[in-house]
Amino acid sequence: MKDVAIVGLGCAAYTAAVYTARYKLDTVLIGEVEGGMGMSAAEVGNWPGNIDISGPDLMENYKNHALSFENVEHKVGRVEKVEKTDEGFLLTMQNSDTLEARTVIFATGSNKRHLGIPGEEEFSGKGVTYCATCDAFFYRGKDVAVLGGGDSAVEGAAIAAQVANKVYLVHRKDTFRAEPYWVDKVNEKDNVEFVLNTNAIEVIGDQKVTGLKLDTPWNGSDTLNVDGVFIEIGSIPAVSLPKNIGCTLDDRGHILVDDAMKTSIQGVFAAGDVSSGSNHFAQFATAAGEGSVAANSVFNYLQAGE
């Protein structure tokens, strides 16, 4: 029986593990993807102490720190089910292995949002991707479209512009909600063209992507001839496990937590992008903060013998 099972392998999860380890709690970290969404950040310029570090490097630092403690066990795999028991919680893995823990911290992060237009699923992996910073390298010298207006889209366009011939940044509005830093970066690129007040309505191609249809003609055509389409329109909190165990969600689909990162289920806590905390401001810094608070709350909960 572990003291705490931390479900997730991202920023909030690794931070929580550092704290639970220092509280001398027997800890297990479980998740499918080491580093989580942090692996898709090409450049992190707002992590205190590092003026410029890549997401993968930052996540490797997190992981190494968490696993430097002997009382932290690390498992890579999918948790299929979490059930309440008299002693705590039973976690069942995809391979049918099980483990028990007295408490659970859900730090499951989020999944990329899909647009839901014709051709999107058909050409997924054949020119349609959901991570411009991950896959831009494969489109060296080609023309691509990046869809979205937030940080991931604008950052992705800036990264893609370093290798692509032409980048079309397609956004349904005429202003961006992205951090001004990234908007300035994109404006510096002479091979980025802004396609604003426009929606993508279909991905077209044959064996692979050849174009993107628009709902409003752009430069006299309703089709952009591109080799790749990067869909960067935000993410959806990964709440299937906490939802199934009965955790209350907020009106945006995140796990509802209080200021101690407690959920509606006794003994269950949440941290990071999956939670309603930090005013839904999904950042490395807020995820780390929530992870540390959740760990402290687990320690207090176990100390009180609740």
Q: Is 57 a catalytic residue?
A: no
Q: Is 131 a catalytic residue?
A: yes
Four-residue CA torsion sign, 56, 142, 155, 276: negative
Q: Within its chain, how far is the Cα of 270 from the centroid?
A: 15
DSSP state of 169: E
For 167-178, b where at least 16 C-beta lie within 10 A, e where not — what string?
Answer: bbbbbbeeebeb
The two three-digit tokens of residue 302, written as one number: 């176990």
Rounded to a whole number of angstroms, the distance between the first and last alpha carbons of the chain is 16
Name the β-bridge partners of 280: none
Exactly one of 3, 57, 97, 134 is catalytic; name it. Answer: 134
Largest CA distance in the chain: 69
288 vs 285: CA distance, rounded Å: 5
97 vs 3: CA distance, rounded Å: 18
Q: Do residues 163 and 135 lie in contact, with contact meaning Cβ atoms separated by under 8 Å? A: no
Show the DSSP H helices in 161-215 as ranges: 180-187
Q: Is 134 a catalytic residue?
A: yes
Four-residue CA torsion sign, 197, 201, 207, 210: negative
Q: Within its chain, how far is the Cα of 222 from the centroid?
A: 32
- Give the number of C-alpha atoms closer than 13 A to the C-alpha of residue 135, restricted to the C-beta side: 20
Write down how long the chain is.
306
The number of beta carbons lying within 10 Å of the beta carbon of residue 4 is 29
Exactly one of 131, 143, 151, 247 is catalytic; name it. Answer: 131
Q: Do residues 268 and 242 lie in contact, with contact meaning Cβ atoms separated by under 8 Å? A: yes
Exactly one of 3, 135, 143, 273 is catalytic; name it. Answer: 135
The two three-digit tokens of residue 228, written as one number: 């790749």
Residues involved in catalysis: 131, 134-135
